[in-house]
């Protein structure tokens, strides 16, 4: 199974947006992260953890987003996504095709579909 088989829509936010707006979007979409994109390239990611750490600050998304974003190809195998998340200790992987954001895959997506994988992936 490939990443493209499980990926879902990724949501983006403007770099000048405030944290309250980011929190509103995440809550309304029931998601745990937003990506900041310039043109078609990913420039950063902000997670619910970032929001909690900076809860009372009146700052912009661009000031706290993670700028070195790890991503994966839609044609990569699920096993590669699992290994990458495990080795980088991350829960979310933007899916990028030819430098363009096409979706996202999360640890929750993987766990929800774990019965379709070889269980050895989770215990390497």
Q: Which domains does the chain have, with CATH numbers?
A: 3-119 (3.10.580.10)
pLDDT value of position 37: 92
Instruction: Decide: helix, strand or coil at residue 2.
Output: strand
How far, in Å, CA of 83 to CA of 97, rounded? Answer: 19
pLDDT value of position 117: 66
Q: Has this prediction a pTM greater than 0.85?
A: yes
CB atoms within 10 A of CB 9: 9
Longest dimension (CA), the chain: 46
Return averaged pLDDT per consecutive 10 residues of the chain, 124 residues in all. 94 93 95 92 94 90 94 95 94 94 93 72 49
pLDDT value of position 14: 92
């Amino acid at each position: 199974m490939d990443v493209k088989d499980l990926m879902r829509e990724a949501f983006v936010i403007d770099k000048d947006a405030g944290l309250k707006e980011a929190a509103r979007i995440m809550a309304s979409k029931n998601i745990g992260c937003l990506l900041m994109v310039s043109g078609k390239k990913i420039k950063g990611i902000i997670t619910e953890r970032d929001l909690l750490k900076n809860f009372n600050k009146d700052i912009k998304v661009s000031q706290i987003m993670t700028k070195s974003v790890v991503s994966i190809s839609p044609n990569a195998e699920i096993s590669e996504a699992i290994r990458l998340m495990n080795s980088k200790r991350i829960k979310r992987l933007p899916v990028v095709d030819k430098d363009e954001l096409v979706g996202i895959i999360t640890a929750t997506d993987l766990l929800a579909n774990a019965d379709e994988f070889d269980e050895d992936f989770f215990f390497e």
